[in-house]
Amino acid sequence: MDERDVRLLKAIAELGTGSPERLHDETDIPVSTIHYRLSNLREEGVITNDRYDIDLEKLGLGVTVIVEVHADYEGSYEEFADRMLTVEGVTNVFFTMGETDFIVIARLSDSDMVERLIAEFEELEGVDRTDSTFVIAVIEERDALQSYELETLLEELTDD
Amino acid sequence: MDERDVRLLKAIAELGTGSPERLHDETDIPVSTIHYRLSNLREEGVITNDRYDIDLEKLGLGVTVIVEVHADYEGSYEEFADRMLTVEGVTNVFFTMGETDFIVIARLSDSDMVERLIAEFEELEGVDRTDSTFVIAVIEERDALQSYELETLLEELTDD
DNA sequence: ACTGAAAGGGCCAGAAC
DNA sequence: GTTCTGGCCCTTTCAGT
């Protein structure tokens, strides 16, 4: 995993495409080299399928933390949530009913980054209290559509 | 959204590819029709990019629930987690430190399905207690790579 | 390991049903 | 709305660096 690999994977995430040509426009890496690199990343198992899903463990972002955020903020919850999104590593932000106000999921590289993340959260304006849960093992992460039987999907989603 | 659309989207999720030819093998829908359908789904905003990411709201799975599962099970946590994965709608299962044993995220179509989901969980062998949190708004769901600046990624992931 | 150039194949418009 | 077909362009390959 060197600079070019990282630039490529980042470009794929940002552009939402794996098209060698478009990636070339973004990164200035020659098209055939892009193909060569992606092919290697596939063999290493970093890229897992044609949709360019990433194995975060192999990439080096295998640490997952779930943070409950209790907040008391001015303005809308969207504005406040946007501020939380500036914290690097945060992938999901849910605005929830019940005791907690937000539930946040973050992907990090190591324990040092966990500390950094919590510190950044505590410093955010409007954050009252955070309650962090360390994830020992990510059992599964799959698409919503994968989690259903075809029959159930047909019942629930089709409007005849 | 009719049966063919659902079959297509399901096939994309299962195969991990958007290749019209492979989708034809799986669904028996003619290649050109697949192209026609996918093109429409893109315009409707159901498919959001070249990587076939799905807008769950537009698809009809816009309800998100987070379930904390307290468990007392025989055997390994993997075995127990696999049983939870049989519940339709469950997309993420995290095995966690601290008070709760598992944190589960599920995507559902409506409130009726939330009831059904909770009921199914309570009936699972080894489940002690569940604590469900209803998500009012999903603020953001993004790739881990998107959540980082390129510079940070280069620092954290490259092994020179 | 990287690249440029050539070739093969899937993708996409258009017309027809 | 669906299907078929041909031309085109992107992807992929591979030999050479």
pLDDT for B159 equals 86
Instruction: Assess whether B45 and B72 both reside in one domain.
Output: no
Q: How confident is the model at residue A90 (pLDDT cuts 50, 70, 90)?
A: very high
Residue A91 belongs to some domain of the structure? yes
Domain of residue A64 covers 56-134
How many structural domains is chain A composed of? 2
User: pLDDT-derived band of residue A98, with 50, 70 and 90 as boundaries?
Assistant: confident
Give me the residues of B, 49-88, that contact A with CB < 8 A: 49-54, 56, 59-61, 64, 66, 77-78, 81-82, 85, 88
Q: Are A67 and A95 found together in one domain?
A: yes
Q: Is residue B12 over pLDDT 70?
A: yes
Mean pLDDT calculated for residue range B7-26: 96
Question: Do B48 and B62 sit in the same domain of this protein?
Answer: no
Chain A positions touching B21 (Cβ under 8 A) are: none
Each residue's pLDDT tens digit, A109-154 = 999 999 999 999 999 999 999 999 999 999 999 999 999 999 999 9
Q: What is the mean pLDDT of residues B16-21?
A: 96
What CATH number does residue B43 fall under? 1.10.10.10
A96 contacts chain B (CB < 8 A): yes
User: Which of B52, B69, B92 is the endpoint of a domain?
Assistant: B52
Predicted pLDDT at A33: 97
What one-character-per-residue DSSP string does B43-91 give? HHTSB-STT--B-HHHHT--EEEEEEEEE--SS-HHHHHHHHTTSTTEE
**Confidence label for B149 from pLDDT (cuts 50, 70 and 90):** very high
| pLDDT number for residue A159 | 83
CATH number at residue A78: 3.30.70.920
Q: What are B87-131's pLDDT values in tens digits? A: 999 999 999 998 779 999 999 999 999 999 999 999 999 999 999
Smallest CA–C1' separation from A50: which nucleotide?
A: D11
The separation, in Å, between residue B34 CA and nucleotide D3 C1' comes to 11
What is the structure's pLDDT at B121? 96
DSSP of A121-149, one letter per residue? HHHSTTEEEEEEEEEEEEEEE--TTTTS-
To the nearest 10°, report the CA torsion of B88, B90, B91, B94: -150
pLDDT of residue B10: 98
Is it the case that residue B20 has pLDDT exceeding 80? yes
pLDDT tens digits, A23-76: 999 999 999 999 999 999 999 999 999 999 999 999 999 999 999 999 999 999
Q: Are residues B7 and B30 in the same domain?
A: yes
Sequential DSSP letters for chain A: --HHHHHHHHHHHHHT---HHHHHHHH---HHHHHHHHHHHHHHTSB-STT--B-HHHHT--EEEEEEEEE--SS-HHHHHHHHHTSTTEEEEEEESSS-SEEEEEEESSHHHHHHHHHHHHHSTTEEEEEEEEEEEEEEE--TTTTS-HHHHHHHH---
pTM: 0.95
Question: Which chain B residue lies closest to A55 (C-alpha atoms)?
Answer: B144
What residues of B are in contact with residue A81 (Cβ under 8 Å)?
A: 139-140
Listed residue (A122, A104, A112) closest to A65, CA to CA: A104
The CA distance from A95 to A81, in Å, is 8
For residue B146, the tally of other CB atoms under 10 A from its CB is 13
Same domain, A68 and A110: yes
pLDDT value of position A160: 66
Partner residue opposite A14 with nearest CB, options B54, B134, B146: B146
Q: Cβ separation of B66 and A134 shorter than 8 Å?
A: no
Which tens digits make up the pLDDT trace of B24-64?
999 999 999 999 999 999 999 999 999 999 999 999 999 99
Residue A125 CB-density burial (10 A; 0-12 exposed, 13-18 middle, 19+ buried): exposed
